[in-house]
Amino acid sequence: GAGVSQSPRYKVAKRGQDVALRCDPISGHVSLFWYQQALGQGPEFLTYFQNEAQLDKSGLPSDRFFAERPEGSVSTLKIQRTQQEDSAVYLCASSAPRGEQYFGPGTRLTVT
C-alpha cells in the first residue's frame, strides 16, 4: 500500500467495553510500533514488533492492553474493559530495519 493505514479512524466505547484497533503497515516493513497520544501530549511508546515477535511491551500501561501481529504483517491492539483514561489517539508506525518510521493517521478512541 501507499502508507500505513489504521482502522477505525474514530471509536467511541462505553466504559467497560473491549475494543480492537487495527494497523496495516507498509508492505515489507518488518518493524511495527504502537504509540499512545493523550490530548495535549506527545506520543508515548507502547510496544514493538519485529515480524511476528513482540520484542518490547514495556510501554503497555496495564494488563488490559494486548497487542498481536500473528503473521508479521497486520497488527491489532486490543484494550479490554476500557476506562476513561484510555481515551487517546493510538498511532501505529512501521519501518524497514533501522529505517525511518512511517506513521499512520491514528485511531481516536473516546471512552464515555
3-state secondary structure of 6: strand
What residues make contact with another protein under the rule CB under 8 A? Answer: 4, 31, 33, 35, 40-45, 48, 50, 55-56, 91, 93, 95, 98, 100-101, 103-106, 108
Specify the residue, 16 or 99, whose C-beta has the smaller distance to another protein: 99
Q: Provide, rounded to whole angstroms, the least separation between the CB of residue 5 and another protein.
A: 10
Sign of the torsion formed by the C-alpha atoms of 39, 106, 51 and 13: positive
Other residues' Cβ atoms within 10 Å of the Cβ of residue 43:
18
Specify the residue, 74 or 80, whose C-beta has the smaller distance to another protein: 74
Specify the residue, 50 or 73, whose C-beta has the smaller distance to another protein: 50
H helix intervals, 18-104? none
Cell reading at 24: 496495516
